[in-house]
Structure 1
Amino acid sequence: MKRVFGVKKEKQPPPSVQDTSDRINKRGETVDEKIKKLDAELARFREQIKKTRPGPAQEAVKARAMRVLKQKRIYEGQRDMLYTQTFNLDQVSFAAEGIKDAQQTMSALKSANKELKGMMKTVKIQDIDNLQDEMIDLMDVSNEIQESLGRSYSVPDDIDEEDLMGELDALEADMGMETEGEGVPAYLQPDKEPDLDSELNLPSAPSGHAAVPAGRSNAQAEDELGLPAVPRSSIRG
């Protein structure tokens, strides 16, 4: 059957806009190269016309230059047509890319919208308001607890400034009376060192022998402690 009817050829995909634009740009580059060569020939013919005297030779050079100029005009028309086609293809490509971007944007927005709706189902404005109200109530209770714990005990609240000044004056008067009655102790006086011996009333150290008072003999003499004094003659002997 394949030999009789043949095999159906597979359809090739149509060329893309970018492929078509690249192919046209290559053709335009080829046309530009041809125009540059023709410009070089025209420049050479111009120099020949300047150097040639008027006559048949100059006319022949002008005829060849005219043919080259006509070819250049044709190539320039082709180049302009190719540039126009490239421009149109670029516009189509830009529009197609814009539509693709719009499709991707719409797809992303739909996905985000679906996800946002699912998230909004779990969050309600009324729940947020209730939570805020509960937080305010808890903060008020916390402040009341702190104030209650910081309350002072047995401190009268009805004391005013007059009571305070009266109490201070009374304390100052009491301190003045104590100072006048008792006097300032010696150890508190800055300019005089305290006499510890006089304050403690301690006896002086013995010198080894006591002085005998008048009218008493050595046998009847007593020392400072009230004991009989030993005669010196007995000590020496």
Structure 2
Amino acid sequence: MKKIFGAKKEKEPPPSIQDATNRINTRGENVDEKIKKLDAELTRYREQIKKTRPGPAQEAVKGRAMRVLKQKRMYEEQRDMLYNQTFNLDQVAFASEGLKDAQQTMTALKSANKELKGMMKTVKIQDIDNMQDEMMDLMDVSTEIQESLGRSYNVPDDIDEEELLGELDALEADMGMETESDGVPSYLQPDNEPDVESQLKLPSAPSGYASVPPGRHNAQAEDEHGLPTVPQASIRG
């Protein structure tokens, strides 16, 4: 069948913008090389015209220079046309790349939007509020537990603060007095020893009185205090 009707030729894919740009740039480089060669040839003819005297020889050189100059102008026009095509292709490439970037951006945004919607289905504001309320309740219960565990034992609840302050002031006063007396209690300080004689209020003994030996009875008169009186003779001496 292929021999009778022939095989169908497969179509080649159309050239991309980059392929067309590379092809045109290659042509432009070839044209630039030709223009450089023509410039070198024109420079040689210019030197010959300067060295040749006016006449047929000079005119012949000028004619060859004119032909080369026409070729150069033609190649320059082609080069300009190729540059314009390259510029247009670059603009199309920029637009195409911009559209590709926009397409990729839209695809990424759609994917992110889909993921966000899926996440929003699993996370609800009401669930978050309920969780916050539960956390607050748990914190309150934890605080109550800590306060209960830190409660002191054997401490009455009806203690008067003013009474405690009064006892504290009295304790501070006692501590101040002990500090002033170098820590010796008041009942042990020498200045506070009781004077037995002053408490008994006994009169002083007479200066000329002689003590009576024991075992002897002196029948002398007694004074108003019950003590024996001293004879006047013994006083005069």
Name the aligned partner's letter for residue 179 of structure 1: P
Gaps in structure 2 of 5+ consecutive residues: 191-237
Distance apart, 1:31 and its partner CA: 0.3
Residues 4-23 of structure 1 deviation map (CA, whole Å, 9 limit, x = unaligned): 43332222211121111111
Distance apart, 1:173 and its partner CA: 4.6
Equivalent residue number for residue 111 of structure 2 = 111
Residues 118-143 of structure 1 deviation map (CA, whole Å, 9 limit, x = unaligned): 11111001111111122122212222
Equivalent residue number for residue 46 of structure 2 = 46
Shifted more, 66-75 versus 149-158: the winner is 149-158
1:179 to 2:182 alignment? no
1:43-82 matches, within 5 Å, as 43-82=43-82
1:93-172 matches, within 5 Å, as 93-153=93-153, 154=155, 156=159, 158-159=161-162, 161-172=165-176
Name the aligned partner's letter for residue 81 of structure 1: M
Instruction: Provide the C-alpha distance between the structure 2 equivalents of 1:72 and 1:138, rounded to a whole number of angstroms.
Output: 92
Instruction: Provide the C-alpha distance between the structure 2 equivalents of 1:163 and 1:183, rounded to a whole number of angstroms.
Output: 26
Distance apart, 1:162 and its partner CA: 4.8
Distance apart, 1:43 and its partner CA: 0.9
Distance apart, 1:39 and its partner CA: 0.6
Instruction: Provide the C-alpha distance between the structure 1 equivalents of 2:27 and 2:176, rounded to a whole number of angstroms.
Output: 117
Residues 102-122 of structure 1 deviation map (CA, whole Å, 9 limit, x = unaligned): 222222222222122111111
Aligned length: 184
Instruction: Provide the C-alpha distance between the structure 2 equivalents of 1:71 and 1:140, rounded to a whole number of angstroms.
Output: 98
Instruction: Provide the C-alpha distance between the structure 2 equivalents of 1:49 and 1:157, rounded to a whole number of angstroms.
Output: 131
Gaps in structure 1 of 5+ consecutive residues: 185-237
Residues 178-220 of structure 1 deviation map (CA, whole Å, 9 limit, x = unaligned): 5343369xxxxxxxxxxxxxxxxxxxxxxxxxxxxxxxxxxxx
Instruction: Provide the C-alpha distance between the structure 2 equivalents of 1:157 and 1:143, rounded to a whole number of angstroms.
Output: 27
SS at structure 2 position matched to 1:105: helix
Shifted more, 173-182 versus 1-10: the winner is 173-182
Larger relative contact order (Cα-Cα within 8 Å, sequence gap ≥ 6): 2
| Percent identity over paired residues | 72
Q: CA RMSD in A?
A: 2.5
Instruction: Provide the C-alpha distance between the structure 1 equivalents of 2:109 and 2:67, rounded to a whole number of angstroms.
Output: 63
Instruction: Provide the C-alpha distance between the structure 1 equivalents of 2:176 and 2:24, rounded to a whole number of angstroms.
Output: 114
Name the aligned partner's letter for residue 101 of structure 1: D
Q: Which runs of 4+ in 1 moved over 4 A?
A: 159-163, 171-178
Does the C-alpha gap of structure 1 residues 23 and 100 become closer, same or farther in structure 2, counting only changes over 3 Å?
same
Scaled by the length of structure 2, the TM-score of the pair is 0.68
Scaled by the length of structure 1, the TM-score of the pair is 0.68
